[in-house]
Every structure is written in structure tokens, then in C-alpha cells.
Amino acid sequence: MSSVRCVARRRLVTRDLRHAGQKGTEPVEHDRPQRRRWLDFLGEEDLAFVKRFVLASGSLKEMAKAYGITYPTVRLRLDRLIEKIKVVDDPQVTSEFERLARAKYAEGKMDLQTLKLLLTAHQQEMGNPDETSHDQ
């Protein structure tokens, strides 16, 4: 298994280094603003969860033990975090209002009916009554 990780890491590093010498490109820096954007939407609890997840090598069983909760609860938390990251990193979502509303929905802090109601009202207020936000 460790040899697989080494090969994958080597490919990642090689890919980044391949573009390092090209005029007008930067090795890894070109990707940094986008990565930073989704991180900006994570609160301290989310960041602590991600850190623990990485340190546990992605073991949900170990995470459940560390937090003193059940495996399904950790799975739900991870699934919500994944959805939140997808939403805030989605280039099709251009409105900050929509991005924030969808992030709250992904966190489980808003139901689907409320999300749709808010997005429809926002679109109408912005003067785009025919424009519908992309589907869930």
C-alpha cells in the first residue's frame, strides 16, 4: 500500500514540476486561490474535523472512537462536509448569496424547501425571474 502512495505522490509532484519551467506558469501557486476559497468557508470545527480525519488516515472508525460517537454519525458529518466543499467550490454558483445558502443546506442547517424558496426569491429580486439555479 505504501508503494501505491509513493507512486501517486511521485505522479503528483512530477505533474507539478513538468509545468514549472514553462514561461508564464507557476508550479503550484496557480491553483492556490481556488483551494483557499473553499477553505475560507470552513469554520474552526470543520477544519479540526478535516485535520483529525487526515491524521487518522481517513479511518472513520478511528474518528468515531476519537469523538466518542457512532460510525454513522461520523459518516454523516463527512458527507455534509464533502457536499459543502463541492458547493463552495462550484464555478457554476456565481452568487455569494446562493453559495452561502447552498453551504447552509449542505451543513443540514436548512431544508430543501427553504433553500428553493430563498433562491427563487433571490433570483426575482436580482431581476432574473426566468433564471433558475442549477439543480441539487
Q: What pLDDT score was predicted for residue 59? A: 95
Number of compact structural domains in the chain: 1
The three grid cell numbers given for residue 42, joined into one nine-digit string: 470552513
CB neighbour class for 41 (10 Å; exposed up to 12, middle 13-18, buried from 19): middle
pLDDT digits (tens, 9 = 90+) for 72-91: 999 999 999 999 999 888 88
User: Is 41 among the domain residues?
Assistant: no
* Cβ atoms 50, 81 nearer than 8 A: yes
User: Is 82 among the domain residues?
Assistant: no
Number of H helices, E strands in the chain: 7, 0
Where in the sequence is the domain holding 24, given as residue range(s)? 1-33
pLDDT band, residue 7 (cuts 50/70/90): very low
Q: What does pTM read for this prediction?
A: 0.62
pLDDT digits (tens, 9 = 90+) for 8-37: 444 444 444 444 444 544 444 444 454 457
Residues 6+ apart with CB under 8 A from 61: 71
User: Is 113 among the domain residues?
Assistant: no
User: Is 24 among the domain residues?
Assistant: yes
The three grid cell numbers given for residue 68, joined into one nine-digit string: 466518542
User: Is 3 among the domain residues?
Assistant: yes
Cα–Cα distance measured from residue 12 to residue 23, given in angstroms and rounded to the nearest whole number: 20
Q: What pLDDT score was predicted for residue 131? A: 52
User: Is 8 among the domain residues?
Assistant: yes
User: Is 6 among the domain residues?
Assistant: yes
User: Among all chains, which residue has been given the C-alpha cell 469554520?
Assistant: 43
